Structure 1
Amino acid sequence: MAKNNNIQTFNDLDGLAQHLRNQDKKVTLLFAHNGTGKTRLSMAFKELGKQINENGEDVSRDTLYFNAFTEDLFFWDNDLENDSERVLKMNTDSRFFSSLAEMEMESRIGPLLHRYADFNFEIDYSNGSIVFWREMVANSDGTEEPAYIKVSRGEENLFIWCFFLAIAQWAIDGQEAYDWVQYLYIDDPISSLDENNAIAVAADLAHLLKDQDRLKTIISSHHTVFFNVLCNEMKRALRYFLTKAESGYELRDTTDTPHFYHVAMLKELHRVAKTGEIYTYHFTILRSIMEKTATFHGFSGLGEIIKREPNDEDGELHARYVNLLSHGNHSLFEPVDMMEENKRIFRKILNNLMNNYRFNPKLFP
């Protein structure tokens, strides 16, 4: 490993994974673009936690992980012959599904899932299958039964994510079946999700992790919105930017410096201001950008860049709006549309920020 100021270079993923294991912080956040090796890094991290006996058998492990391989443990049986009974199958050969039948998974997953989605599910442990429905239909005898559906790819990913979250909660609680877990490694849990659910997932995950001290967690992502919310919610976490280099992999420490994702977030706010798709959580994002702007320009807080004159009544009002509407749980977990008056004020605060503190106008068509 080579080190240059806040950049460390690793020859291979094993060396990088070992470095992450040695961190003393409870949470480590990694931002990396697709193709950098995030998923392979999560697997290298997991492998380092295994102990193999003389027969080549895996006798212990310490990492509960979520990545593309976790999603691959679930697959669809689309009933090609009859085209009627479509079920999501679980690869029950995996130890990921060990002892779940005794753990009342439905009661654990249901409250998590219904924060994001409006469909129901039932698990058949004997067949390793899951069915989904939204509505009940009446039978000729007056009884009702579910009208089974195949959920969308995004909804499927949400379900699998909630499945993992339920197990992660057991590990955090030290439940006996998962007391072997020392690390959580989560890689990009938001594939196929829209921006609203990406923010909800990040806020929910941060809430789960902030108040626990039992496990160390590494979270990697290429999604700027998701990463931004995690950084805002877990301010004490280590933050790194991971890139590939000619000599291996470079890990840039961005913990104490503003990261480039604030520009992507400002572009998103500019977009919703134009389309009118403004939700209350956008005030939280706006507050984060304004705090970074205030710090960069040497002010003590965002109030000083909103209220520019001592008798600036609009600035005083706008500061109150930002403080009021940026607190809470990011509208967990349904995006809440703002009243037209609040949207008008949001646009005015955003426009004032962009006019007073110049950003590259080419980024905002």
Structure 2
Amino acid sequence: MSGEKKLYKYKTLKSVAVRLRDDLNDHHFVLLYAYNGTGKTRLSMEFKDIVKKRKKNPLTDTLYYNAYTEDLFHWNNDLDNDSERHLIINQKSRFFEGFRELALDERIFGFLERYADFNFTINYVDWNIAFKKQIKNHKFRPDSEEPEYVIQENIKVSRGEENIFIWCIFLAITELAIDGDESYGWVKHIYIDDPISSLDDNNAIAVASDLAQLLKRGKDKLKVVISSHHALFFNVMYNELRNIAHKSHFLHKNGSDGYILRATDDTPFFHHVALLSDLWKASETGKVNTYHFNMLRSVLEKTSTFFGYDEFSKCIYGIEDEVLFSRALNLLSHGKYSIYQPVEMNLDNKELFTRILKAFLDRHSFQLPEIFA
């Protein structure tokens, strides 16, 4: 199997981080798929710290987004009065260098309005952020049947809304680095680890697509690593960046003996194989959406390419109901944008999806660690 030649073993995450930096010498992007618990967040910090240790410099060349980025913000919930809630910014972080002078409100909102329906105000004196949202007053204006809308101030946004807001701040700063703003002239690398942990699939796809467009615009200025456990997000990023020089890896633990980095730049496309984990979970939980058929067909197409078949249906050739399954995959994975429509399938199609997936897995044996975990 050609893919077996591209398997690398490392004792430490630092060694993996060195490898990723080496990859970026010849490529614009590195895409990394890894399950939760593998050490992706720690890897991003090792990547950040390498240049500090090499040059004995207290500063880094990496702007990163990971769990630590979200920790730069914390809530004041006004427990006494329950009315003046706001998000406090850790102004000591280099992440906010030039934040006050650049007044990023408009730039941040340009990203935020794509994903959310709330607004915000940044207090650059006290370093906090207040949120507001337009809501129905449930009263009708005099002489009108139209509902009245009011602005609710100092609201506590949900965890998902908070995460997407912080993500939009990161995008605004990344855009400044791409545009060459001197406040972020130190940024040479971007490291993004799982920006969509609290987002639904619809927003995950939107985030991936928007991020890809931004990074493609800055591909000649910044080198980027993107790691994720979210198969749908990873798949969209791969498809968006596939025509730009990049490396793609699958990272998993090597038992108690370090880590394995498996290249997925060509067959057998391990990131597509990893999608089977999400497809199986969707089948098991009954939460099968329209785009799952598209994902399943994509896996069959990559498998057929690996085996040298001229069409994906030959991956299920000779099994019972093969004609029905092929027609269903053709019909239910139709359209370029079906992956962008998170619409739940009806019961009959869910059952059909499960039958096709099971038949495929029974026909082919995929050896991938914890694939059904």
* Normalised-by-shorter TM-score class: 0.7 to 0.9
User: How far 1:320 moved relative to its partner?
Assistant: 7.7
* Secondary structure in 1 matching 2:154: strand
Residue deviations 1:241-271, cap 9 Å, x none? Answer: 2223334322122222222323124336647
State the identity %: 44
SS in 2 for 1:149: coil
Aligned mates of 2:363, 2:206 — CA distance in 1: 29
Q: Secondary structure at the match of 1:79?
A: coil
| Cα distance in structure 1, aligned partners of 2:36 and 2:332 | 37
Question: Which residue matches 2:109?
Answer: 110
SS in 2 for 1:229: helix
> Shift of residue 87 of structure 1?
0.3
1:284, 1:326 within 8 Å by CA — same for their partners in 2?
Answer: no
Find the aligned partners of 1:244 and 1:38 in 2 and give their Cα distance. Answer: 11
Residue of structure 2 in register with 1:35 after alignment = 37
* Structure 2 portions without partners, runs of 5+: 138-147, 365-370
1:267 paired with 2:280, answer yes
Q: Distance in 1 between matches of 2:37 and 2:241?
A: 26
- Within the alignment, does 1:222 sit opposite 2:246 as a pair? no
1:253 aligns with 2:263: yes
Change (3 A) 1:152 1:317: closer
1:237 is matched with: 246
Cα shift at 1:353 = 5.0
TM-score, scaled relative to structure 2: 0.76
Query: Is the CA contact 1:239–1:253 (under 8 Å) kept in the aligned structure 2?
Result: yes
Deviation string for 1:125-174 (max 9, x for gaps)?
11111111222699xxx996543310111111111111101111111222
* Structure 2 Cα separation of the partners of residues 120 and 301 of structure 1: 49
Task: Look up the equivalent residue of 1:11 and give its one-letter code.
Answer: K
- Counterpart of 1:88? 87
State the distance in 2 between where 1:69 and 1:326 align: 36
- Deviation per residue, 1:186-210 (Å, 9 max, x gap): 1121222223322222222222223
Evaluate the alpha carbon distance shift between residue 359 and residue 215 of structure 1 in structure 2; reply closer, same or farther with a 3 A threshold: farther
Q: 1:354 to 1:44 in 2, by over 3 A?
A: closer
**1:71 maps to amino acid:** E
TM-score, structure 1 as length reference: 0.78
Cα shift at 1:176: 2.2
Give CA-to-partner distance per residue, 1:274-311, whole Å, 9 cap, x none: 55x735x55653452342243245333558889x9xxx
1:336 and 1:31 map into 2 onto residues whose CA distance is 22
The correspondence for 2:215, drawn from 197, 209, 212, is 209
Amino acid at match of 2:102: M
Aligned residues: 340
CA contact (8 A) 2:279 2:292 kept: no
| Counterparts in 2 of 1:51 and 1:317: CA distance versus 1, 3 Å | closer
Distance (Å, rounded) in 1 between the aligned partners of 2:149 and 2:227: 48
Aligned to 1:181: 187
Q: Distance in 2 between matches of 1:225 and 1:101?
A: 36
Question: Does 2:46 match 1:44?
Answer: yes
Q: Could you tell me which runs of 5 or more consecutive residues in structure 1 were left unpaired when the two chains were aligned.
A: none
1:147 to 142, 149, 153: 153
> Map of 1:272-291 to 2, 5 A cutoff?
278=289, 281-282=291-292, 284-291=294-301
Q: 1:300-329: CA deviations, max 9, x gaps? A: 3558889x9xxx9x9799758745x2249x
8 Å Cα contact 1:113-1:162 kept in structure 2: yes
Aligned Cα root-mean-square deviation (Å): 3.7
Secondary structure of 1:130's aligned partner = strand
Is the CA contact 1:303–1:319 (under 8 Å) kept in the aligned structure 2? no
Q: Say if 2:75 and 2:88, in contact at 8 Å, map to a contact too.
A: yes
SS in 2 for 1:49: helix
User: Contact between 1:206 and 1:230, CA under 8 Å: does it hold in 2?
Assistant: yes
Q: Could you say what secondary structure the match of 1:133 adopts?
A: strand
Secondary structure at the aligned position of 2:100 is classed as helix
Q: CA deviation at 1:360?
A: 7.5
The aligned amino acid for 2:279 is L
- Give the conservation status (yes or no) of the 8 Å contact 1:284–1:327: no
Q: Deviations over 1:60-104 (max 9, x none)?
A: 531111111111100001112222111001001112112122323
The separation in 1 between residues aligned to 2:357 and 2:53, in whole angstroms, is 54
* CA shift for structure 1 position 14: 2.4
Give, as a single letter, the amino acid of the residue that structure 2 aligns with 1:266: L
In the other structure, the counterpart of 1:64 is 63
